[in-house]
Amino acid sequence: MKSSTFLFAALFIASLLAGCGSQPPLITKSATVPVGIDLSGNWRLRTAGGPDNGPDPREQTIRIPPSGSGQGRSSSWFRDTGSAVRVFLEQGTDVKITQTEYGMFMQFDRARVEEYRFGENRIVSVGPIEAERVSGWDGRIFAIETRDDKGAMLFESWSLSGDGKLLTRRISIVERGDEKVSTSQYFDRQ
């Protein structure tokens, strides 16, 4: 009788531990800048009616309101995701990017600056909210992945096209396997 009680207790504890298991680590991105890729420059968010090479009108996108509109990080579509990872998404109409051999600095609307190191894998925080982040190169695309403590993921990618005159930013938020937010932004070199 004691052995069956011990077995039951051991299985119960094992199931509790399995349910509380940590998530697998994020896969570190490359620290090597691809030859000929430099995202540096002053970029302006393309608006409706802008130059050619914009988003495919059939592509479903969500508009991220510009900062200063009163909606900022707490816009209703973003708040509805319910995940803490949303606080790590910066936005702006004007983006100044400075790329070095080891990292990237992105300044949004001359106010907020984000720093990303190529090949980084670290814990980042905004106030009391912490998340795991990896950033670096995935081929010719600069990629950033941020995961909060509940497993929600923020995916961002930045890439050049149009002979280096068009910068494309893709953003998605995934919670429990469901994509809650998906959008693309297009920036013209100024």
Give which of 125, 126, 145, 149 is closest to 135, Cα–Cα: 145
| Full-model pTM | 0.74
Residue 13: inside a domain: no
CATH of the domain at 32: 2.40.128.20
Residue 61: inside a domain: yes
Tens-digit pLDDT profile for residues 28-85 = 999 999 999 999 999 999 986 555 544 444 344 444 444 444 334 434 444 455 678 9
Cβ atoms 126, 87 nearer than 8 A: yes
Boundaries of domain holding 120: 25-189
d(CA 149, CA 84): 8
Give which of 39, 1, 6 is closest to 144, Cα–Cα: 39
Please give the tally of structural domains in the chain.
1
Torsion over CA: 96, 99, 187, 36 (sign): positive
3-state SS, residue 37: coil
